[in-house]
Structure 1
């Protein structure tokens, strides 16, 4: 006669917390105790921590927005892009039903994706568990030429996800840019201190690093315009400037920001022949900037620039976008390769996110 074997509860937690979200969603139906466990905030945080720390990147995915008349989103595994000869994309059922409007991807944080809707509100969405929340409207005084620069991040003190909206009016360049913060916990916007005087973000999305949101921004000095990095501490809600590395300013395009391996990166074109990526290994310490990689341009650089970088593998291979397609560059042998994606081609926006159980409906 077979003897039933029972695993200790602690071992069950350790096993389940390492599984993909899709499996966990199915396993909620196994029994009531598993359903309660997988919905428990402690388990959700543990699963998030292990997913972020995994060196296999099995929980990392990239969302791709297609270059079609209709708004169409696909998602595929980052690990598959790097390690497989062919990758299968799955269609994502975007929660906002307006197929002819293209909402911009603001960013991702702990599995939550943020989309800007007409510059007046945002959508927080976890596609892994198919749960979303739409913010109230900003109700800014829109005029021709105005735009809103958003950013999504996490306040570890209050354990709240926040979206920051910087309202920019080029018609009043020397005035402060108005700033509002959306709290997922309260589902409301509130005003905070304006952006520093004379500073205007020219990169629409803030990059989340070490509890801060960071924008590349213009800084007016007399008749001249310089660029700086403006950092907003999400817990203190105060600003500071982050100094860039010492680079060849006169021979480079205006820098943009990105995040790789949890570090802030600065990217720019150099003489239209190379794409240069710097990484700040110790956030806020200027001396920690290192030139991470220099990527030569493919043909026709005058027509297209690289987008990204979106991801870097353990061996240093970099994932970018060029001419509406994903491309990988390996600095070891200075080679390029195009990942083959089944039933998918032609992208204009992308964002890497992690599969988690974090819900935008509750904290």
Structure 2
């Protein structure tokens, strides 16, 4: 009787990496020690892009819940928002960013862009990949400022230049000077642009409108950042300001033709399935109408949602099209437009009167800042 011979079957390398690209980032970080080839392959732009797109395509999203107290000197907390059975939600693992001291109170989190974020606190900026826990503090801007009594940083844009494979951070700067009566009446505006590839800042031309927008929505779509904008003499939003990360130029486009006007209503811009989207809601708790628009050559109204009374501030989408809202009682609720079911998730801001909450969603990424 002949002995049984053992055969070894090897999978094609392309198939192996197709399988690996579907795994969580934590598993791939451990697998880097398998061999040098795997370690180097996991860091190539092709594999990083494939891994990120797989998680986006399969709707494998992670959610961060930000909770803070309302005054400017208060602290905020970041948590992982998760659900075990698709029904009950919970906050897990308080996320602590490096340098969480007095300078990093109430960080604003911009993005995600390819699974990574830009974090701002006062005049400090950093890049953060929550999937790998990598954190890079950006250098101070070297742009020269005109003489001013007060320099203020406001509004940030964070995006990706696909032609040079470079992540860029845009920041608007206001330089204010006092008049003879001691009031701030003179203002010079600047725009600083940071390149991760060069690890440096430069100044670019400032647009003629003022960008505005809530930080927690992903306003980066296909290499372009968007903000609702004010004109010089506008009582409300007048247009959308955009910045192209490739050609580094500003432009403007129109807002959706909303019947209520943008004095009483507020547009929130976000990425909806790879297109520029807008959620329009009332600043009044009594108005329960929410409209969702998408830009594809021109603005198209996707849906009109009539919410329950006291549910007015949209916070983003859950995995199956449901919408997170902040209620009048500062509770986190989930609204299903198809069934009109409203679910209180039992999560609330720290304070009934001045607490705020935000929801940030992202797909895992292997992007590094080296």
Displacement of 1:233 after TM fit? 1.3
Greater share of strand residues, 1 or 2? Answer: 2
TM-score (norm 2): 0.80
- Aligned residue among 309, 313, 316 for 1:306: 313
Contact 2:65 2:358 in 1 (8 A): yes
2:212 maps to 202
Structure 1 pair 294–174 and aligned structure 2 pair: CA distance change class (3 A)? farther
Displacement of 1:214 after TM fit? 0.7
1:110 maps to 114
Structure with larger Rg: 2
Q: Residues of 2 paired with 1:147 and 1:126: CA distance?
A: 23
Contact 2:79 2:91 in 1 (8 A): no
Gaps of 5+ in 2: 178-183, 351-355
Indicate the RMSD between aligned Cα atoms, in angstroms: 3.1
Structure 1 pair 183–313 and aligned structure 2 pair: CA distance change class (3 A)? same
Displacement of 1:115 after TM fit? 0.8
Structure 1 pair 145–293 and aligned structure 2 pair: CA distance change class (3 A)? farther
Does residue 350 (structure 1) correspond to residue 351 (structure 2)? The answer is no
Q: Residues of 2 paired with 1:295 and 1:334: CA distance?
A: 8
Q: Residues of 2 paired with 1:230 and 1:174: CA distance?
A: 23
Displacement of 1:150 after TM fit? 0.2
**Number of positions where the alignment pairs a residue of Structure 1 with one of Structure 2:** 341
2:268 maps to 256
Does residue 8 (structure 1) correspond to residue 12 (structure 2)? The answer is yes
Cα shift readout 1:290-340 (whole Å, capped 9, x = no counterpart): 1434242443x6xxx4142x22544x3223333544321111121111346
Q: Residues of 2 paired with 1:170 and 1:215: CA distance?
A: 22
Contact 1:328 1:336 in 2 (8 A): yes
137-146 or 259-268, larger mean C-alpha shift: 137-146
Q: Residues of 1 paired with 2:341 and 2:210: CA distance?
A: 38
225-234 or 81-90, larger mean C-alpha shift: 81-90
Q: Residues of 2 paired with 1:88 and 1:226: CA distance?
A: 35
Gaps of 5+ in 1: none
Displacement of 1:81 after TM fit? 7.7
Does residue 246 (structure 1) correspond to residue 252 (structure 2)? The answer is no
Q: Residues of 2 paired with 1:280 and 1:82: CA distance?
A: 31
Q: Residues of 2 paired with 1:319 and 1:82: CA distance?
A: 18
Q: Residues of 2 paired with 1:268 and 1:108: CA distance?
A: 21
Q: Residues of 2 paired with 1:121 and 1:88: CA distance?
A: 27
Displacement of 1:83 after TM fit? 2.3
1:220 maps to 232
Q: Residues of 1 paired with 2:275 and 2:152: CA distance?
A: 30
TM-score (norm 1): 0.82
Greater share of helix residues, 1 or 2? Answer: 1
Contact 1:276 1:291 in 2 (8 A): no
- Aligned residue among 322, 328, 347 for 1:317: 322
- Aligned residue among 121, 127, 131 for 2:130: 127
User: SS of the residue aligned with 1:248?
Assistant: coil
1:75 maps to 80
User: SS of the residue aligned with 1:39?
Assistant: coil
Does residue 66 (structure 1) correspond to residue 46 (structure 2)? The answer is no
Q: Residues of 2 paired with 1:181 and 1:291: CA distance?
A: 34
Displacement of 1:175 after TM fit? 6.0
Contact 2:275 2:295 in 1 (8 A): yes
Q: Residues of 1 paired with 2:120 and 2:149: CA distance?
A: 18
Q: Please give the residue correspondences for 1:21-60 in structure 2 after superposition, counting only pairs within 5 Å.
A: 21-54=25-58, 57-58=59-60, 60=61
Displacement of 1:124 after TM fit? 0.3
Q: Residues of 1 paired with 2:323 and 2:131: CA distance?
A: 25
Q: Please give the residue correspondences for 1:133-282 in structure 2 after superposition, counting only pairs within 5 Å.
A: 133-138=136-141, 146-168=152-174, 177-196=189-208, 199-203=209-213, 205=215, 207-221=219-233, 226-250=237-261, 252-270=264-282, 272-282=286-296
Displacement of 1:204 after TM fit? 5.3
Q: Residues of 2 paired with 1:87 and 1:25: CA distance?
A: 26
